[in-house]
A and B are shown apart, each in its own frame.
Chain A
Amino acid sequence: MSPLTPRRAAIGIALILLITLPIWVGNPYYINVSSQILLFAVFALALNVLVGYGGLVSLGHAGLFATAGYAGALMLQAGYGHLAADVTALILALAAAAVFGVLALRSTGIGFLMITLALGQIVWGVAYRWASLTNGDNGVNVTTRPRPFGINLANADFFYYATLLIFVAAVASMAVFIRSPFGASLCGTRDQARRMNALGYNVWLIRFLAFLFSGFWSGVAGLLFIYYTNFISPQVASLQTSAEVLLMVISGGAATLLGPVAGAAIVVIMKNVVSAYVERWNLVLGVIFVAIITFMPEGLVPGSVRLWRMGWRAFRDRGRANVLRNVPEPPS
């Protein structure tokens, strides 16, 4: 038995809290919000593979999310079973990710961002304009949730547990991914692409595979989404969705395992709370974006800590002589 480190204890406590959540929360509304947080956390974790570890900022991930969602919803509508619909949806999400990857990885940085944005808009265009296929703005209804092993997921508690299971699988796969040599090589392509190339790594292939990995989990999140809302519309494929999930990643802190999860919780809770009182979610979203980027570019969690320390230092030092404050920092 390995020793009990604080980190492991924290993970254990978090898991116990998550598993017992339906008991201590009780109200089905909040259980549903929790499911929503977990499914968006899966999506944010997927995007974080590229944004955090690959240094590739995608603004088209809603396209992958919606591809899986629409594929699943349309298959179900056509009368196929859940298994067939889900497998097809994931395959299509992977195929879309492959196309996105091949085109977007012709560039990095800003070029990558622009190309993914344009590709995401194509998916939106199909969802919105190809009305004979996707029913246009009216969206597609999903009438049933699956019943794996006879468990009825229409129940909020059971759906929460199913989402939790997939969420834990996503976190575990991310943890394995990051610690694997492949994850390390992806971080290498982010920090020193040319040196990685010189060392004989195929930088393009590493990025492409990371894109597929990210696309797969985005597809899983898209499927969870249609089962959660029982509905999908072109809004899901819009730039706003891509921006929201990117906000989750950067607000929680990119390139950390649990940052995107915290970001998903922050954004989903805020969206639910704000929408309950005012209609101005977009305005709030924009203001948060601007505020985070201007004041806490490293993410909300590390940023708050930094601002808090600065404030605390200013408070502590308020009586001291100014001379002390002008002492230069020791070289590090």
Chain B
Amino acid sequence: MSLWLTLAVNSIAYGGLLFLLSAGFSLIFGLMRIPNLMHGSFFMLGAYFGVTLLDKYQVNFWLAALISGAAMAVIGGLIERLLLRRLAGQELAQVLLTLGLSFIVADICLMVWTGDPWQPVTPAHLRGAVKVAGLFFPLYRLAIVVVAVVIAIALWVMIDWTRLGAMIRAGVDDAPIARVVGIKVSQLFTLVFALGAALAAFGGVVGAPYLSVYPGLDAEMLPLALIVVILGGTGSLLGALVGSFLIGFLYNFGQAMFPDLAYVILFLPMLLVLVLRPQGLFGRIVS
């Protein structure tokens, strides 16, 4: 397989992981109007949970990812109910609260799981490659893409076709009016926050054999979620999807061609979008 094709496959896989991370971030930001600065922490903490289940207790890979996602949904829901709720309406305080919590989570992870990077082995049933049209593709990377696409479709169906999704959309568009027509926006906040946390944690576990888990992973992933959402537009799932794959490609190709500047290149499309289309590629101007 040629270098370019390998890069392209890696890019798509990375984009899939980024989507799992940023879909929740985008919904939380769109609905609650706060960038959740502990989203990277959800990703890292979820990855640590999952990898512990995987390596210490020999739990099945997908089951570990699901358990970790469920655990993080509970933690996220509690944080929203017990802490963020107290500061309703004070966006800045909420942002700073999540920032403070992210430091706490980072230090607790360092305490519990030490500073050594931890890369779980790729589960046995995902090793090897599949042959498609005469080319070999690593199975694990393909699995990431498939999972991301399935989740993207599930989210899309939920947001666009269900009653719950309609309520979330109403909340994103205009929370005060949604309240007036009887939608319990505050319950939606908790639900969306828990869902976002769960998706991030799930992504963390699924990505662990690829990215490995290490202290600082949270601070590395958070800006990526931020870029994706600024690129795609807040509250837009399609924007998050397109933004994720764009960043996935930029990251992998940048890494291969300009290793010194790869991280900086990631931010260039964001800067362009900010200058030319501040609401994001798929965002709407909020009046």
Contact = CB atoms under 8 A, between A and B. Distances in A.
Real complex partners, A and B? yes
Interface of A: 57, 59, 103, 106-107, 109-110, 113-115, 117-119, 121-122, 125-126, 128-133, 238-240, 243, 246, 250, 280, 282-283, 285-290, 293-294, 297
B275 A286 contact: no
**Which 5 A-B pairs rank lowest in CB-CB distance, beginning with the nearest?**
A289-B100, A286-B103, A125-B263, A286-B104, A283-B107
A172 B252 CA distance: 49
Given A103-B275, A283-B104, A114 B260 contact: no
A240 B106 CA distance: 11
Interface of B: 33-35, 83, 86-87, 90-93, 95-97, 99-108, 110-111, 219, 222-223, 226-227, 230, 259-264, 266-267, 270-271, 274-275, 278
Contact of B267 (A122, A243, A250): A122
Contacts of B104: 282-283, 286-287, 290
A113 B35 contact: yes
A117 B223 contact: yes
Given A122-B267, A243-B103, A285-B103, 15 more contacts: A57-B92, A57-B95, A109-B92, A110-B92, A115-B274, A117-B226, A118-B230, A129-B263, A129-B264, A283-B103, A283-B107, A286-B102, A286-B106, A293-B87, A293-B100
Contact of A129 (B97, B226, B262): B262
B275 A106 contact: yes
A106 B278 contact: yes
Nearest to A121: B223
Contacts of B90: 297
A170 to B, nearest CB: 25
Say whether chain A's binding surface is mostly helix, strand, loop, or mixed.
helix
Contact of A238 (B219, B259, B262): B219
A110 B35 contact: yes
A280 B105 CA distance: 12
A161 to B, nearest CB: 34
A290 B93 contact: no
A103 B267 CA distance: 12
Given A121-B223, A131-B260, A293-B87, A283 B278 contact: no
Given A118-B226, A121-B267, A294-B87, A243 B275 contact: no
A188 B223 CA distance: 32
Given A103-B275, A106-B275, A129 B260 contact: yes
B93 A297 contact: yes
Nearest to A283: B107
Contact of B96 (A133, A287, A289): A289
A110 B219 contact: no
B271 A109 contact: no
A242 to B, nearest CB: 9
Contacts of A280: 107, 111
Contacts of A246: 96
B166 to A, nearest CB: 25
A290 B278 contact: no
B157 to A, nearest CB: 29
Nearest to A131: B260
B106 A282 contact: yes
16 contacts: A57-B95, A103-B275, A106-B278, A110-B33, A115-B230, A118-B227, A125-B266, A125-B267, A129-B261, A129-B263, A282-B104, A285-B100, A286-B100, A287-B100, A289-B96, A294-B87
A119 B95 CA distance: 17
Contacts of A290: 83, 97, 100-101, 104
Nearest to B278: A106
Contacts of B110: 282
B120 to A, nearest CB: 25
Interface centre among A109, A121, A283, A294 (most CB of B within 10 A): A121
A130 B223 contact: no
A216 to B, nearest CB: 23
A167 to B, nearest CB: 26
